[in-house]
């Protein structure tokens, strides 16, 4: 009798797995069936959460000319002329658009987006004006509880285990949280502040693993000092202008530290799989050599005013006469003073989806969406024994 019960339980689990995470490759870059998609981060991946919170115009994008390319019919809260990277990834994974968590009546079966424009890893970054990463993790716990109540513990456990967790955050901690915060600079040396950011990000990854997550995608930081806003700031400080190297140095150090942490976590945690993008070099090459990638302009933003059109996030004053809007955003790497155009988001999404190991690794996102981890959902493995400190 014991053997029959075991086989019945095993078959039930297999049925659940097939229903919710079975995948089958099809022609092109999409899949017929795929895993859920949970998104954490800042304005690079915010699809509208900041529409529902009280914040500053710089942290919102629910007004024109955002969304002006017509894909959504108008502004949605995305910091882009149209779609952002996670919209494309969802499409490649044969998922619908992943809704923002704060959008009423969201359905969590395909995942949900917790990202918030202006958010940081640290709760102190733009405190009170954004949904910081610790709060995003709390929201995920609510989603997990709802899935368990609605789908049952077994189904929810498999869905959580098979989901892909995409994390894109950290820029605001260094730009607004540190370089634009004299008190933080007084209290922390750059390397100590960076260690604090990386430490808190590591803890967040561990929390998601402990709650059942096994497959993670990461978007590293761009050359922050070369954003139009930071170039404009540097022009005010140094007559020759150019990239604000202190910001780019912090971004590069963050990326190197994250790479080391992920290698360690892969060793510590059983079945921990991840995709990490070399976003820094990827975007830097497009800024320096725009013509190689189909762009005409790699430095100046499409929308904004002042040097590099980097003095203000476009449209924030809701006065069309006070900012410039280019004729063809597709010719530009940068949409506004901080954010790239939809075309950059699309190119990056394609690279993340099935790019080579030289720029995406150790897995690309397609690998993660088609990889199943039934053992994790059934057995809830414990971390491997490891005694070194991060």
Catalytic residue annotation: 43, 336, 339
CA distances, 97 to each of 105, 132, 158, 167 (Å): 14, 22, 21, 17
Give residue 176's Cα distance to chain centre: 18
Contact of 220 with 282, CB cutoff 8 Å: no
Angstrom distance (rounded) from CA 50 to CA 62 = 9
Tokens of 363: 């897995």
283: number of Cβ within 10 Å: 24
Which letter does DSSP use for residue 336 in this model? Answer: S
Which letter does DSSP use for residue 361 in this model? Answer: E
Angstrom distance (rounded) from CA 79 to CA 59 = 9
Helix/strand/coil for 303: strand
Q: Is the dihedral of CA 134, 146, 111, 48 positive or negative?
A: negative
Tokens of 49: 């959460």
Torsion (CA) 10, 22, 84, 179 in degrees, nearest 10: 30
Angstrom distance (rounded) from CA 176 to CA 236 = 17
Helix/strand/coil for 304: strand
Angstrom distance (rounded) from CA 266 to CA 150 = 32
47: number of Cβ within 10 Å: 28
| Residue 60 CB partners (closer than 8 Å, separation 6+) | 50, 51, 77, 117, 316
**Pairing of the two strands 164-168 and 215-219:** parallel
The DSSP line for 221-232 is ---GGGSHHHHH
Task: Specify whether the backbone of 376 is left (phi greater than 0), alpha (psi in -120 to 50) or beta.
Answer: alpha
């Amino acid at each position: 009798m014991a053997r029959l019960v075991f086989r019945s339980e095993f078959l039930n689990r297999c049925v659940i797995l097939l229903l919710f995470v079975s995948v089958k490759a099809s022609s092109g870059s999409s899949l017929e069936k795929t895993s859920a998609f949970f998104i954490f981060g800042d304005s690079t991946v915010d699809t509208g959460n900041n529409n529902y919170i009280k914040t500053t115009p710089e942290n919102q994008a629910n007004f024109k000319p955002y969304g002006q390319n017509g894909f959504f019919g108008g502004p949605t809260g995305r910091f882009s002329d149209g779609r952002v990277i996670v919209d494309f990834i969802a499409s490649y994974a044969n998922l619908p658009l992943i809704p923002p968590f704060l959008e009423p009546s969201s359905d969590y079966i395909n995942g949900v987006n917790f990202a918030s424009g202006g958010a940081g890893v640290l709760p102190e970054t733009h405190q009170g004006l954004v949904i910081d990463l610790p709060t995003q993790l709390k929201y995920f716990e609510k989603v997990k509880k709802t899935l368990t109540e609605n789908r049952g513990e077994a189904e929810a456990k498999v869905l959580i285990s098979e989901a892909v967790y995409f994390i894109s955050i950290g820029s605001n901690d260094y730009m607004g949280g540190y370089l634009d915060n004299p008190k933080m600079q007084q209290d922390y040396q750059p390397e100590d502040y960076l260690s604090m950011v990386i430490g808190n990000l590591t803890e967040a990854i561990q929390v998601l693993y402990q709650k059942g997550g096994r497959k993670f995608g990461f978007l590293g930081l761009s050359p922050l000092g070369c954003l139009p806003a930071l170039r404009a700031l540097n022009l005010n400080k140094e007559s020759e202008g150019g990239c604000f190297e202190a910001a780019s140095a912090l971004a590069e150090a963050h990326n190197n530290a994250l790479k080391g942490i992920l290698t360690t976590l892969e060793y510590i945690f059983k079945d921990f799989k991840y995709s990490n993008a070399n976003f820094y070099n990827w975007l830097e090459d497009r800024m320096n050599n725009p013509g190689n990638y189909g762009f005409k302009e790699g430095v100046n933003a499409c929308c904004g005013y002042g040097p590099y059109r980097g003095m203000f996030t476009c449209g924030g004053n809701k006065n069309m006469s006070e900012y410039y809007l280019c004729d063809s955003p597709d010719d530009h790497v940068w949409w506004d003073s901080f954010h790239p155009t939809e075309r950059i988001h699309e190119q990056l999404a394609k690279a993340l989806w099935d790019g080579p190991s030289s720029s995406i690794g150790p897995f690309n996102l397609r690998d993660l969406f088609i990889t199943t981890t039934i053992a994790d959902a059934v057995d809830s493995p414990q971390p491997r024994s490891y005694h070194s400190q991060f």
